[in-house]
Structure 1
């Protein structure tokens, strides 16, 4: 029973870390920070995908909210790189 909770918690933490890094990178527009933020976001995407594939009894709302957040961060990074 603790396993789904741990997956959710890891996804939440990964997305929060990506949010911070994307925010800092897009404010500074530093190339190295943008790359680090991209890597961090990719890790969050992977953890999200892993949790989604193993999900049982986890609220669809969690995955929907997380997916929207990841999309927004991805868009923010893409805009900053252009």
Structure 2
């Protein structure tokens, strides 16, 4: 029972970390911060896909919201890089 919860918590934490890093990077426009934010978004995606591949009837809404958040922060980061 704790395994799906742990996977979901990892996704949630990775997304929150990526959101913070993307916010900081897009405000400062510092190349190093943009790179770190890119890596954080990739890590959040990896955590999401790992958890999604192991899901067994767990909270579908959680995965919908997580996917939307990842898409939003990824788009924000890509716009900042232009």
TM bin, normalised by shorter chain, reads: over 0.9
CA distance in 2, matches of 1:78, 1:23: 12
Provide the TM-score with structure 2 as the length reference.
Answer: 0.98
Counterpart of 1:54 in structure 2 is 54
Provide the TM-score with structure 1 as the length reference.
Answer: 0.98
For 1:1-82, what aligned pairs fall within 5 Å after superposition? Answer: 1-82=1-82
| Runs of 4+ residues over 4 Å off in structure 1 | none
Aligned residues: 82
Computed over aligned residues only, the root mean square deviation of the Cα atoms, in angstroms, reads: 0.5
Structure 1 stretches lacking a partner, 5+ long: none
1:18-63 residue CA offsets vs partner (Å, 9 max, x unmatched): 0000000000000110000000110010000000000013111000
CA distance in 1, matches of 2:59, 2:6: 14
